[in-house]
Structure 1
Amino acid sequence: MACHCEASQGEQLTPLEVSRGAGGRGCRGCGSRGLLSPPPGLDSDLSGRLHGQHLARELVLRTVKGYLEVPRPDKALALSFHGWSGTGKNFVARMLAENLYRDGQRSACVRMLIATIHFPHPKYVDLYKEQLMAQIRETQQRCRQTLFIFDEAEKLHPELAGLVPVLSVRLGEAQFKAELTGASLSLSNLGGNVINELVLEWLQAGRAREEITAEQLEPQLRAEVAASTDSGFGASRLVKENLIDAFVPFLPLEFGHVRLCARDAFLSQGLAYTEEALDSIARLMVYVPKEGQRFSAQGCKSVSQRIHYFLP
Structure 2
Amino acid sequence: MPRGPRSPLWLLLLLLLPPPSTSGHGGRARPREGAEEAGSAGSWPAFQGLRERLRAAGALCRRYWALFSCRVWPEGCRQDEEAPARPLGLEADLRVRLHGQHLARELVLTAARGYLELPRPDKALALSFHGWSGTGKNFVARMLAENLYRDGLRSDCVKVFIATLHFPHHKYVDLYQEQLAAQIRKTQEHCHQTLFILDEAEKLHPGLLEALRPHLERQAPENPRAKSLKTIFLFLSNLGGNIINEVVLNLLKAGWSREEIGMEHLEPQLQAEIVESTDSGFGHSCLVKENLIDIFIPFLPLEYRHVRLCARDAFLSQELLYTEEALDEIAKMMVYVPKEEQLFSSQGCKSISQRINYFLP
TM-score (norm 1): 0.86
Gaps in structure 2 of 5+ consecutive residues: 1-74
Matched, 1:13 2:82: yes
Partner of 1:60: 108
Higher relative contact order (CA 8 A, sep 6+): 2
For the 8 Å contact 2:81–2:149, the answer to whether it is kept is no
Partner of 1:24: none
- 1:244 CA drift (Å): 1.3
Q: How does 1:204-215 map to 2 (within 5 A)?
A: 204-215=253-264
- 1:65 CA drift (Å): 2.1
Higher Rg of the two aligned structures = 2
Q: Distance in 1 between matches of 2:139 and 2:110?
A: 18
Structure (1 or 2) with the greater helix fraction: 2
Gaps in structure 1 of 5+ consecutive residues: 1-5, 20-38
- 1:121 CA drift (Å): 0.9
Partner of 1:42: 90
- 1:289 CA drift (Å): 0.8
Partner of 2:99: 51
RMSD, aligned CA: 2.2
**SS where residue 298 of structure 1 aligns?**
coil
Matched, 1:299 2:338: no
> Which segments of structure 1 move beyond 3 Å, counting only runs of 4 or more?
9-12, 169-174
Q: Distance in 1 between matches of 2:83 and 2:267?
A: 31
The code of the aligned residue for 1:207 comes to: W
Q: Distance in 2 between matches of 1:108 and 1:51?
A: 29
- 1:214 CA drift (Å): 1.5
Partner of 2:285: 236
Which residue among 326, 332, 338 is the counterpart of 1:289? Answer: 338
The count of corresponding residues between Structure 1 and Structure 2 is 283
For the 8 Å contact 1:273–1:311, the answer to whether it is kept is no
Which residue among 235, 239, 250 is the counterpart of 1:190? Answer: 239
Q: Distance in 2 between matches of 1:197 and 1:231?
A: 20
Kindly provide the CA deviation profile for residues 41-74 of structure 1, in whole angstroms up to 9, marking residues without a partner as x.
1000000000000000011111112212321111
Partner of 1:121: 169
**SS where residue 290 of structure 1 aligns?**
coil
For the 8 Å contact 2:99–2:306, the answer to whether it is kept is yes
Identity of aligned residues (%): 70
- 1:165 CA drift (Å): 2.7
Which residue among 175, 185, 195 is the counterpart of 1:137? Answer: 185
The code of the aligned residue for 2:118 comes to: V
TM-score (norm 2): 0.74
Structure 1 residues 171 and 99: alpha-carbon distance in aligned structure 2, compared to 1, 3 A threshold: farther
Matched, 1:163 2:232: no
Partner of 2:300: 251
Q: Distance in 2 between matches of 1:165 and 1:145?
A: 19
**SS where residue 281 of structure 1 aligns?**
helix
